[in-house]
Amino acid sequence: MTKTRPVFTIGVSTKMYFSYEKTLGYARAVAGLASSNPLVAGGLVELFVIPGYPAIPAVVEILAPSGVRVGAQDVSTDDSGALTGEVSAPMLGEIGCTLVEVGHAERRRLFGETEEVVQRKTAAALRNGLTPVLCVGEAARGSAAVAADEVIRQLRSALADAPAGSSVIVAYEPQWAIGAPEPAPAEHIIPVCTAVREALESDRRLADLRVIYGGSAGPGLLTVLAGAVDGLFLGRFAHDPAALGSILDEAAALL
C-alpha cells in the first residue's frame, strides 16, 4: 500500500527547557494528541518531536505507537572516532531517530558552527538514512529577495554532498525572528519559501523536499501561510501540549 504523503509537517523542539521527567510527560501528552487525531493517524499531518539526547530512547518508545517521529537536536560530522561528547548518526538511527536537526541558528551563533560543519553534518545524516531538518535563515532583517538569496546559498552549501534519493526538511527560520514576540510577517515568509522551493525542486537528488517555517511560529500562522509552506517548526509555544493541539486543529480546518 502506498503511504500517504503528508500535506502538513509539524515539528517541535524542546531545546533544553525540559527535565527528563517533564520530557516524558510531554511525550505522553503528544502521543495522546496524535492517537486521537484522524489526520495524524491517517498520515495527512506528520508530527515530529525533537527532545534532549538522554530522553530519546524513552520518547521513541512512548511515541512509536502513535506514529510520531522522533529526532535529535544535533549530530556529529563523523560516524565514529575519538570525538568525546559527540553523538553519531548511526547511533541515533539505532535508538529510533528518523530525523535530526542540523544548522540551527543557536548552534551557528553560540557554538561557532561554520557552513562546512553544517555541510558535513547534513551529509552524515543523509548517508545514514536520517532526514535532516536543515535550519537556514538570514541574520538581519531586510528584504525578502535578499533573504531568499542568502537562504538558497546556505542550502546549496549544506546539500553539496547530498546523495541521490535524499529526503530533506528545510526549516526556514530568520534569525531575527527566533525568540521574538511575533513571527516574521507573511509577506516576508511567503516569497522566501516560494523561492527556496523553486530553487530546490530542480535538484534531482532530492526525492522528498518539504519547506516549513520556524521562528516564533504560533496559532493562525499556518492558515496565513497555507500553500506557501508545508508546515511549521515550533518552539516554546508548542511546549504546552494544548497549544500544539490548537495547531493540529488549525491543520484539520485547512484540510
Q: How far apart are CA 160 and CA 157, in angstroms?
A: 5
Active site residue 188: no
Find the catalytic residue in 46, 101, 113, 173. Answer: 173
Query: Under 8 Å CB-to-CB from 67, ≥6 apart: which residues?
Result: 34, 40, 41, 43, 47
The answer to whether 203 and 246 have CB atoms below 8 angstroms apart is no
The DSSP code sequence of 75-113 is: --SSSSSS-TT---HHHHHHTT--EEEE--HHHHHHH--
Find the catalytic residue in 104, 113, 138, 150. Answer: 104
The answer to whether 252 and 210 have CB atoms below 8 angstroms apart is no
Active site residue 104: yes
State the DSSP H helix or E strand holding residue 119, giving kind and residue range, or none if neither: helix 115-127
Residues classed as catalytic? 104, 173
